[in-house]
Amino acid sequence: MVWRWSTGLHLDQFGLSEEGLNLWQELIEETGGLRAGFITINDMAPFGSNKWFDAGDRRFHPDNIVIDSREASFIAIIEKASGDIVWRIGPDYPTQSSPELRPRFDTYVPRPIDQTSGQHDAHIIPKGLPGAGNLLVFDNVAPSGYPATRLPLFYGSRILEIDPIEKQIVWQYTAVESGAASWTFASSFISSARRLPNGNTLINEGMNGRMFQVTPAGDIVWEYVNPHFGSQTYTSLNTENRTVSTNWVFRAQPIPYDWVPEGTPRSEKGVAPIDIKNYRVQ
């Protein structure tokens, strides 16, 4: 074993409110312990070389580790040397019982981080890429939190780029940035987002097997829907288990051309999108 970190030894560092801690206590009393997956850390990666550490901020030591909790709605940095949480956003967001009306689909940036809920793939944009040092995360805007976070009426997921020093959203993508309704880009689980060398962002709308690339302005310049379907056992309340067909994709990772075997056919010729208002199958 090289290194080990236990969630259970750091529960008091996750920033849960008294109401949230009471919910955990109720779970312990009802079930004899917190259930498996009660916090679901779905991403864990070294911070890596970055400008913040170069400027003297030791919270962002390259060996420190970025995690995010899908169930508890927070993103945090673990100091590898001590195991302590040294930086965090969430989970102190508006909840279902809060009087605040947020989250809203605000479009102005920069602005203070308003919420993440059920998020995935939180990571630091590496050196050499536009936005280097900022945190990029796929905010699923999905049910999560202790207590449950407040969700918007007009559902949709978001990609957030966050300045970790100011804790501000400095760039975002929702379907609205592409001129579409918010709910046309939505994935309540899995999914990812990665910055590309040209400044665009590769997004994986995992639930629907849809991968696409957007410019900083929100223009969709490339899109691919996974055509490969497999079987998945689907379980929901008050129903028997059913086997369903799905093309979901957990994560999409961009790779450079020089990783592709020499001679592999490729083309960058543009393909006009189908106008679904006029498209008909004969």
157-196 pLDDT, tens digit each: 999 999 999 999 999 999 999 999 999 999 999 999 999 9
What is the model's pLDDT at position 208?
Answer: 97
Query: Does pLDDT of 75 surpass 80?
Result: yes
Domains of the chain, residue spans = 7-94+103-198
Name the pTM for this structure. 0.92
What is the model's pLDDT at position 87?
Answer: 98
pLDDT band at residue 106 using 50, 70 and 90 as cut-offs: confident
pLDDT band at residue 234 using 50, 70 and 90 as cut-offs: confident
Closest Cα to residue 213, out of 202, 224, 229, 205? 202
What is the model's pLDDT at position 95?
Answer: 67
What is the model's pLDDT at position 161?
Answer: 98
Cβ–Cβ under 8 Å, residues 45 and 66 = yes
Report residue 268 CA to chain centroid gap: 29
Six-digit token string for 230: 């497999």
Sole residue written with tokens 């074993």: 1
How many CA atoms lie within 13 Å of 179's alpha carbon, on the beta-carbon side?
Answer: 3
CA distance 275 to 62: 47
Cβ–Cβ under 8 Å, residues 76 and 88 = yes
What is the model's pLDDT at position 96?
Answer: 65
Query: Does pLDDT of 238 surpass 70?
Result: no
Cβ–Cβ under 8 Å, residues 171 and 109 = yes
As a whole number, mean pLDDT of residues 226-243 equals 81
Cβ neighbours of 241 (radius 10 Å): 8
Helix or strand (DSSP H, E) at 11 = none
Cα–Cα distance list, 159 to 8, 81, 136, 145, 176 (Å): 29, 31, 7, 19, 12
Cβ–Cβ under 8 Å, residues 256 and 196 = no
Cα–Cα distance list, 223 to 78, 272, 274 (Å): 35, 11, 12
What is the model's pLDDT at position 236?
Answer: 63
Residues of the chain above pLDDT 90, percent: 65
Per-chain mean pLDDT for the chain: 90
